[in-house]
Amino acid sequence: MSQALVRTDFNLSGQTGVYHGKVRDVYTINDDLLVMVATDRISAFDVVLPKGIPYKGQVLNQIASTFLDATADIVPNWKLATPDPRVTVGVKCEGFRVEMIIRGYLTGSAWRDYKAGARSLCGIALPDGMRENQAFPTPIITPTTKAEAGHDENISREEIIAQGLVSREDYELMEKYTYALFRRGTEIAASKGLILVDTKYEFGKRAGKVYLIDEIHTPDSSRYFYAEGYEEKLAKGEPQKQLSKEFVRQWLMDHGFMGKAGQQVPEMTDAYVESVSERYIELYEHIVGEPFVKATTEDLKARIEDNLRKYL
């Protein structure tokens, strides 16, 4: 099986900090640039799973890079270059402590809450009688706090502003950008025979200006349905055929794991890991609309470090 990259420990020229996130290793250069290395770690229910998924990092980095370029006319973003298939280098911003989640359809955790009787989500009233995977009349923004550790928490627009997490002016600009990005993502997805169901955006500030940061429109941060068959499946109450990381969450739930105390992560066999890798490559090819070209996985760390030294 191909080698998976689960951690890096580089010492780069001008390096002033490093942060190992759930799936990315982020290096700060001269307190001004960020080098974001997409590893093959995979997380679900805010837990990093014990095995890496070959090529996952390359898939996510290349999708995010594609969509950052495709939306740069809407909002300034942090990206400067992709010196390696797994790496994006960009400007360092002060990230806001909230994530902007936008939902076009009632599914996932929102559906689970709705089915349990909830009729309000992040301060937004939801109509009675909705079905799983049904489109909202218009997309809704359901922000969460960005937790340092553990689970992110739902929060309303009013609470964000009242608590001073984001100023009213900045929040209204983030809202405007979020709707515009989701419209663009929806149009691009439709051209590939897909429906962009929901996604999240993160924003930060640099020199008084709001920037789009992190990844966008990847299967880790977004959910896609296949457009073909959507209406029929909705009418019959059948599960939608989808492109997202939800298939991993579903596998974990089927094996009794939802990230709760005392629960054990099920065994990830080599065959299962390989199947997840193949699914991520399938996601790439559908979302981007181009064949996925596998970069070599031999001496991964040496290749990445060499490419970074040449760039930096």
pLDDT at 130: 97
Do residues 246 and 108 touch, judged by C-beta distance below 8 A? yes
Give the integer Cα–Cα distance in Å for 38 and 101: 21
Structure confidence at residue 1 as a pLDDT band (50, 70, 90): low
pLDDT at 201: 98
201-219 tens-digit pLDDT: 999 999 999 999 999 999 8
* CB atoms closer than 10 angstroms to residue 227: 14
**Which residue's structure tokens are 């070209």?**
293
pLDDT at 152: 78
Beta strands 194-206 and 98-105: pairing type? antiparallel
108-132 tens-digit pLDDT: 889 999 999 999 999 999 999 999 9
Do residues 146 and 97 touch, judged by C-beta distance below 8 A? yes
- Please tell me the number of Cα atoms within 13 Å of 1 on its side-chain side: 17
**Which residue's structure tokens are 């600009």?**
173
pLDDT at 2: 80
As its CATH architecture, domain 95-244 has: 2-Layer Sandwich (3.30)
What percent of the chain shows pLDDT beyond 90?
A: 91
* Rounded average pLDDT over 261-270: 95
pLDDT at 146: 81
Give the integer Cα–Cα distance in Å for 204 and 96: 5
30-74 tens-digit pLDDT: 999 999 999 999 999 989 999 999 999 999 999 999 999 999 999
pLDDT at 151: 66
Do residues 95 and 202 touch, judged by C-beta distance below 8 A? yes
Q: Give the rounded distance of the alpha carbon of 250 from its chain centre.
A: 17
The DSSP bridge partners found for residue 168 are: none
Give the integer Cα–Cα distance in Å for 10 and 18: 9
Give the integer Cα–Cα distance in Å for 221 and 218: 5
Length of the chain: 312
pLDDT at 297: 87
pLDDT > 80? residue 305: yes
- Where are the alpha helices (H) located in the chain, listed in sequence order? 56-70, 108-115, 157-162, 168-191, 230-236, 246-254, 270-288, 300-311
pLDDT > 90? residue 242: no
Compute the mean pLDDT over every residue in the chain, rounded to the nearest whole number.
95
Give the integer Cα–Cα distance in Å for 171 and 156: 11
Contacts of 203 (CB under 8 A, 6+ apart): 95, 96, 100, 174, 177, 210, 211, 212, 213
Do residues 188 and 199 touch, judged by C-beta distance below 8 A? no
DSSP 164: T
More confident residue, 148 or 180: 180
pLDDT at 77: 98
Structure confidence at residue 17 as a pLDDT band (50, 70, 90): very high
Nearest Cα neighbor of 176 from 157, 191, 153 is: 157
pLDDT > 90? residue 148: no
